[in-house]
Amino acid sequence: MDSILEKNLYLFKEHVGLFKAHNNYDIYDPKSKEIILHCREKNLNIFYKIIRTIKSSLKMLTPFEIGITHLNGQKVLKVKKNLSLIAKVEIFDENNNMVGYFKQKVWTFSNTFEIYNAKDKLLCKLTGKIFGWNFKFLKGEKEVGLVTKKWAGIGKEMFTSADNYILEIKNKVEKDSPLRLLMLAAVVCIDMVINE
């Protein structure tokens, strides 16, 4: 597994733009304040570009494919969602092998995704309040990670717009666990499916 996934903190900064259809982010190491990864939406057809530009609230229903790469373009992972009302988001590794997927729980009073590996085994849940920006990764009752827009620690001064996120992966998650790849992809999932 890629050594970049051994970090415990990542800062996602979304690119801002007027009438933008694509979602693009730079991923920083909050300690060094340096960009360590690029996150770019690819292969969006013209029909969905128009829908997203005209009615941004429909963005969460449209398909997307977002690649996370090293600065040299080397692939780390791919996050993909097909056209659907209820989100199922698939995650692929650098060799295009499916690592797992997120399945949105509906009819709950929270924003919840179940996170499965490629063999349909439930690994953890990603849950947040229906009107909030904080999301927790829960393995049973134990918190193993957190995604937040409000950060009181390192990197606080780097926040300049509403669509920036900090991912914190707890030490409980082993450095070589595929769950780390899925947690990195979860930030994209939150922004594209819930917060848009």
Q: What is the pLDDT of residue 133?
A: 75
| Average pLDDT of the residues in 70-98 | 89
Residues paired with 100 in a beta bridge? 91, 117
Half-sphere exposure of 129 (CA within 13 A, CB side): 5
Mean of pLDDT values over 82-87: 69
Determine the Cα–Cα distance for residues 64 and 81; give it in Å rounded to an integer. Answer: 5
Higher pLDDT, 109 or 100: 100
Overall average pLDDT of the 131-154 stretch: 82
* Span 4-22, pLDDT tens digits: 889 999 999 887 754 455 6
What's the pLDDT tens digit per position in 53-77? Answer: 565 555 566 778 889 999 999 999 9
Query: How much is the mean pLDDT over the chain?
Result: 82
CATH (domain of 97)? 2.40.160
Of 28-37, 45-54, 158-167, where does the model show the most confidence?
Answer: 28-37
Q: Residue 88: pLDDT band by 50, 70, 90 thresholds?
A: confident
Residue 94 or 48, more confident: 94
Is the pLDDT confidence value at 46 over 80? no
Concatenated DSSP letters of 131-153: T-S-EEEEETTEEEEEEES---S
User: Which pLDDT does position 60 carry in this prediction?
Assistant: 61
Number of domains composing the chain: 1
Domain of residue 104: give its range.
Answer: 3-194
Please tell me the predicted confidence (pLDDT) of residue 59: 59
Q: Report DSSP letters for 67-126, one per residue.
A: EEE-TTS-EEEEEEE-S-SS-EEEEEETTS-EEEEEEEE-SSSEEEEEEEETTS-EEEEE
Q: Is the pLDDT of residue 162 over 50?
A: no
Rounded to a whole number of angstroms, the CA Rg of the chain reads: 16
